Amino acid sequence: MLIRRLLFLLVAGLMALALVMLVVWPMPDATLRGPEPGEVAVRSADVLKLGYNMPERSAMHAAAVRLANAVREESQGRLQIQLFPNQQLGNDHQMLEMARRGELDLILTPSAKLSVAVPEMQYPDLPFYFPAQEDLYHLLDGEPGRLLLNRLRRIGLVGITFWGNGFKHFTANKPLLSPADFDGERFRVMKSRLLQEQFELLGAEAIPIDFHQVKEALRDGVVEGQENPLVAIHSMGIHAVQTDLTLSSHAYLAYVLSINESRYSKLPSAMQTLLLEKAREITDWQRAETRRLEETFLSEIQASGTRVHRLTDEQRADFRQRLVPLASRFESVIGSDLLALTDSYLYQNYPDEKRRLIGVDVDLGADTEGIGRDIKRGVELALAQYNAHRSVDSYRLAPWVINNLGQPDRAGRNLQTLAEDPAVLAVIAGGGSAALKGQLPIVETLDFPVLSPWAAESELLAGGEYEQLFGLTQVTPLVARSLAAKLNADSTGDPHLIIEAGAWGLDFEQALRGQLAKQGRLLGQVVRVAMGQTPATIQQQVSQLSGSGALVLAVRGRERNVAIQALAARYPGRQVYSIREGNIESPLDIQCLHSWSDNSAFRLLMQQYRARYDEEPRVPSAVAQGYDGAGLLINALSSLEPGFDREQITRAMLRALSFNGVIKRYRSPFSTSQRQALTSEDYYWSSKRCVVPGDQD
C-alpha cells in the first residue's frame, strides 16, 4: 500500500513538472527549425569588410554608409558590409595588399595608388584633358571606365565603380592663370612620373613630398605651390599658408571601389548583382555630395582671406594646348584603346568648324604587337607636320581613331560611324584583311576614299573593283614574289613554312606555292599555327619538321615567339625568314621583310616618333605606312580648291601626283586600274630591327 502511494506521488510529481516546463520553456520558433526534406536551407549572412582612408566627415564615408544600409535592407540582412574608415586597417598600400591576399574584402582606393600595380589608372590624372567634370564622369561610367575596372582582375580584384574626392586645383602665393605663371616655380607633387612631367611641361620644378608634410613644406618655402581637391586643401589647412587658390578642375582624384575576386566569386549571383547595382546607384549621389561639401569648404577658404580665381575657357584652352604632349608620352601606359575612346567622345561632343578629321580605324588590342598603334602614330606624325605648315585661315587636320579589335563587324560599324560625320574627309582603315573585308560593304556606299595601310589578301585591291579603296599594303602576291626571289638567291632545298591558320594564311601559302613553282621548286612541310594555341602544341608541331630547307615564319605575336624558341632549340643553324616584321629575341639568323628604306627621311621620322612618344616603335613598317598613307591623302587634299566636297577627294587621289614619302618617292601611285601604291621593288630583306635583345612582346 505504501509502495502504491509512493508510485502515485512520483507520477503526479512528474506530470506537474511537465506542466511547469510547458509554461516556462517556449516551443522552438519555426525560423530556427531545420529544413524539411526538399527545402533549401537559408544561407547565413555574408559579411564583407570595407576599408578606406577617408574620415567619417567625408562624402566618401557617407556614401559607404549608404551602400552598407542599402545592401543590408535589400538583402534582408543576408549581405552586410562592415566599414573601417580613416585608415583603421592600414594605409592605402597596406589595404591594397590585404585585399589582394584576401584578408580584406572591399577597398576604396585612390586611383593614383592603384596605378603602381595597374598603370592605366593614371587616366583620370591627365591634366586639362577633359573639357568639363561631367565629361570625365560620363567616360568613367562608360566604356573607358569599364575597361579600367576590368584591368583590376590582373591583380585579383573586381572593379565595381568610380567614386571620387573631387577635382584638383592649384594653390600658390600668386594667381596661376596661364602656363607662364608656373615658370621657375617649385611645386609639390605626389610620387608620379605623369604628375612630374605635367609640372615640367608648365615650366615648373616638381618635388615629390608626402601629403602630410605639404603644409609644412609650403610654410617653410621648400615649394611655392601644390595641387589638390578642395577637401584636402581645407582639411590640411593648406589655404592658411597660401594666399591664392586657382579653381582649375584640371584632373580628378578618383577612388575605385573594388572587391577581392575570390571573395566576389563565392557570393551568390543575386548578391553579386545587388552589390554592383547599389554601389553604382550611389555613385551620382557621392559626386553630388562631394560638390555640396566643396561649396562649404570654398566659403570657409574665402572667409579666411585666401584669394580665389576661376579659369576662363580661353585660359583652360591655353593649359590644354601646353599639356597635349602628356597624352602621347603616356599612351603606352594608359592605353591606346582608352585614349581612342576618349577622343571619339570629344570629337562627337565638341565639334570645331576649323577642324577636319582623318578617320583611323585600326586594331588597338593587346595581342597585335603594336601594329595598329604604330599605324595610328604614323598618321598622327603626318598630320602634325601638315598642321605646323598650314596657312592660318585653313582648317587643321586631326585623327579620329577608332578601335576595331580586329573584328570585321566592329570594323564595319566603325566605318559607318566615320562616314556619317561630315567633318571626316577620308579614312585609313582595316589594319588587316579580316577587318577590311568587314568594311567592304560600307566602302561601296562612300563618297570619300578609304586607304588600307597594312597586309591585305590578293583580291581586295586587284583591278580597282572598289572605287573608293586604295592601298599602301604588303599585298600577298607581292610579298610571296619577294620571298621566292630571296629564297632562290640564298638557299637550296624546299623551304618549310610555319604560318598562321586562317584565311590569310591559306591565301599566302597558295601564293608562295605558285611563285616557287615558277622557279621549278616546291614548298616543303607546312605547319599551321592557330592563334591562341598552347606553347607545348606549337613546339610539338615545329619539332616535326624535317629536311634541310630554309624556314619561313609567317606568324605574329606570342605564337611567333614560341615558334622561334622551338626553332632555335631544334634547328640552331638554320636560316629563318620572317615576313612579319617586329622585335624578335633569338640567337637565330633571322631576316625580316621590310617596306621601308633606312634613308634620311625614315631616320627623321623615327626621331620625331621618339620625341613625341618617348619610346621606340614596335613595328617601324607600320609607322612608315601610316605616315605615307596620311601623306598621300594630304597631298590629294592640298590639290583641291577651297570649298571642295568629299567626292572630289577620290578623283584627286587618281590624278598624277608626286609625293616624297619615307618609304619612297611616289609618282602617280594610283589609277583606275591600279589602287596599290607599293610594288615588289619596294620590299627588301634585312636583319635590322628584326632581332632585338630584350623584346617583351
**Number of C-alpha atoms within 13 angstroms, CB side, residue 178?**
3
Lowest mean pLDDT among 48-57, 359-368, 639-648: 359-368
State mean pLDDT over 660-672.
89
Alpha helices in 75-107 (DSSP H): 92-101
Q: Are 197 and 326 in contact (CB under 8 A)?
A: yes
Per cent of the chain over pLDDT 90 is 63
Of 178, 182, 117, 177, give the one whose Cα is nearest residue 151: 117
* pLDDT at 261 > cutoff 90: yes
| 214 φ, ψ (degrees, to nearest 5) | -65, -50
Q: Residue range 365-379: average pLDDT? A: 85
Cell for 180?
607662364
The pLDDT of residue 584:
65
* Domains defined along the chain, listed by start: 46-122+129-165+254-298 (3.40.190.170), 169-252+299-317 (3.40.190.10), 351-474+599-682 (3.40.50.2300), 476-578 (3.40.50.2300)
Which range has the top average pLDDT, 381-385, 493-497, 514-518, 521-525?
381-385
What residues contact residue 410 under an 8 Å CB cut-off, 6+ apart? 404, 438
pLDDT digits (tens, 9 = 90+) for 244-256: 999 999 999 999 9
**pLDDT of 564 higher than 90:** no
551 in Cβ contact with 572 (< 8 Å):
no
Beta-bridge partner residues of 424: 357
Residue 565 has what pLDDT?
Answer: 86
Q: What burial class does residue 408 get, using C-beta atoms within 10 Å of its C-beta: 0-12 exposed, 13-18 middle, 19+ buried?
A: middle
Question: What is the average per-residue pLDDT within 15-37?
Answer: 38
Quick one: CA dihedral 663, 414, 555, 520, positive or negative?
negative
Evaluate if residue 294 carries a pLDDT over 80: yes
pLDDT of residue 478: 82
Whether 40 shows a pLDDT value over 50: the answer reads: no
Mean per-residue pLDDT, 563-569:
86
Spatial distance between the Cα atoms of 682 and 41, rounded to a whole number of angstroms: 73
**490-to-547, 550, 663 alpha-carbon distances in Å:** 16, 9, 25
Q: What is the pLDDT of residue 532?
A: 81
Q: In this model, does residue 35 exceed pLDDT 60? A: no
> Cα(374)–Cα(609) distance, rounded to whole angstroms?
10
pTM for this model (two decimals)? 0.85
- Segment 365-382 shows an average pLDDT of 87
Q: Is the pLDDT of residue 29 over 50?
A: no
- Tell me the mean pLDDT in the region 147-160: 97
Q: Are the C-beta atoms of residues 179 and 318 closer than 8 Å to each other?
A: yes
Would you state the pLDDT for residue 494? 87
Q: How many CA atoms lie within 13 A of 693 on its CB side?
A: 1
pLDDT at 257 (0 to 100): 98
Q: What is the average pLDDT across 98-106? A: 97
Q: Which has the higher per-residue pLDDT, 23 or 639?
A: 639
Among 39-43, 303-307, 399-403, 615-619, the minimum mean pLDDT is found in 39-43
**β 496-500/551-554 pair status:** parallel
For residue 394, pLDDT over 90 is answered with: no
In this predicted structure, the answer to whether residue 412 has a pLDDT above a threshold of 80 is: yes
Which has the higher per-residue pLDDT, 203 or 592? 203
* pLDDT beyond 50 at 42: no
Residue type, 529: V
For residue range 225-235, what is the model confidence (pLDDT) as tens digits?
A: 999 999 999 99
pLDDT at site 685: 84
Q: Given this model, what pLDDT does residue 236 score?
A: 92
694, 585 in Cβ contact below 8 A?
A: yes
Q: Cα dihedral angle (373, 374, 376, 377), rounded to 10 degrees?
A: 120
Antiparallel, parallel or unpaired: β 575-578 and 658-660: unpaired
R_g of the chain computed on alpha carbons: 33
Report the alpha-carbon distance of residue 495 to residue 227 in Å, rounded. 63
**In a 10 Å sphere around its CB, with 0-12 CB exposed, 13-18 middle and 19+ buried, how is residue 368 labelled?**
buried
Total residue length of the chain = 697
Q: CB 553: neighbour CB atoms within 10 A?
A: 25
Residue range 169-203, pLDDT digits in tens: 999 999 999 999 999 999 999 888 999 999 999 99
Q: Answer for the pair 695, 583: CB distance below 8 angstroms, yes or no.
A: yes
CA 641 to chain centroid, in Å, comes to 39
Q: Give me the pLDDT at residue 24, please.
A: 36
- Residue 28 has what pLDDT? 36
Whether the pLDDT of residue 301 is over 90: the answer is yes
Give the whole-angstrom CA distance, residue 475 versus residue 424: 27
Locate 163 and state its grid cell.
567614386
* Closest C-alpha to 414, from 353, 472, 364: 364
Whole-number pLDDT of residue 358: 97
pLDDT at 567: 87
What whole-number distance in Å separates Cα of residue 120 and Cα of residue 144? 11
Question: Residues near 454 by Cβ (< 8 Å), separated by ≥ 6?
Answer: 371, 375, 430, 431, 432, 473, 474, 622, 625
**Joined grid coordinates for residue 275:** 552589390
Q: For residue 497, list its beta bridge partners.
A: 526, 552
Among 122-136, 379-393, 430-444, the minimum mean pLDDT is found in 430-444
- How far is it, in rounded angstroms, from Cα 70 to Cα 51? 18
Identify the H or E element spanning 89. Answer: none
Tell me how many helices (H) and strands (E) the chain has. Answer: 24, 24
- Give the pLDDT of residue 4: 52
The kind and range of the H/E element at 404 are none
Residue among 185, 215, 217 nearest 199 (CA): 185
Q: Quote the CA–CA distance of 529 and 542 in Å, as a whole number.
A: 9
What is the per-residue pLDDT for 695?
Answer: 35
Cβ atoms 69, 76 nearer than 8 A: no
What average pLDDT is seen over the chain?
A: 87
Q: Contact, 576 vs 685, CB < 8 A? A: no
For residues 145 and 138, the answer to whether their CB atoms sit within 8 Å is no
CB 550 within 8 A of CB 576: yes
pLDDT band at 693 (very low <50, low <70, confident <90, very high): very low
Average pLDDT, stretch 349-365? 93
Q: Which residue has the cell 588590342?
A: 365
Per-residue pLDDT at 102: 96
Query: What mean pLDDT comes out for the span 345-351?
Result: 94
Report which of 611, 552, 586 is spatially closest to residue 695, judged by C-alpha positions: 586
**What pLDDT does 581 receive?**
64
pLDDT at 621: 85
Provide the CA 317 distance to its chain's centre, in angstroms: 25
b/e 657-679 (16+ beta carbons within 10 angstroms → b): bebebbbbebeebbeeebbbbbe
Residue range 669-692: average pLDDT? Answer: 77
70 vs 500, higher pLDDT: 70
Task: Determine the pLDDT at residue 588.
Answer: 78
- Answer yes or no: are the C-beta atoms of 48 and 81 closer than 8 Å: yes
Tell me the three cell numbers of residue 673: 586600274
Among the listed residues 614, 560, 583, the one whose alpha carbon sits nearest the alpha carbon of residue 377: 614
pLDDT for residue 361 is more than 90? yes
Q: Range with the lowest mean pLDDT among 457-466, 515-524, 628-637?
A: 457-466
With 60 as the cut, is the pLDDT of residue 391 above it? yes
Ranked by mean pLDDT, the top range of 309-313, 577-581, 585-589 is 309-313
